[in-house]
A = this chain, B = another copy of it.
């Protein structure tokens, strides 16, 4: 077991989730991508080793336990990314800008770009803010 796998093993233990080979594969796949990975993408990558239904369940469990978070992109497709260490099962901290490239379809988590603050009308109480920018990413704009 290499270092990365070991790290993921500990991650699962820390969240009280059983350490199975499928779950480790999913964590590996997610961590090897830049930004978030779409459900269809992930499905294609893991297939046929991991059953489609099992993947749904793994992602659901991970999300509930605060191991990954889900970002819905502008097409309504679910994308997943590993959480930062301060996510818990009680709440995700995902207050950064997402960038959805319309050329390559990558979804980036721009951790360095914070969502600027703004005022809501009276009596509107914000719990979470999601900001998605669509356009052309650095990789694609250089081609």
Residues of A within 8 A of B (CB): 72-78, 97, 99, 102, 108, 110, 112-138, 141-142
Q: List 16 A-B contacts (CB under 8 A).
A: A72-B73, A72-B74, A99-B124, A113-B118, A113-B120, A115-B118, A115-B131, A116-B116, A116-B118, A124-B137, A125-B141, A126-B135, A129-B132, A130-B132, A131-B131, A131-B132
Q: With A72-B74, A72-B75 as given contacts, are A124 and B136 in contact (CB-CB < 8 Å)?
A: yes
* A68 CB to nearest B CB, Å: 16
Cβ-defined contact, A77 with B74, below 8 A: no
CA distance A79 to B91 in the complex (A): 25
Cβ-defined contact, A110 with B120, below 8 A: yes
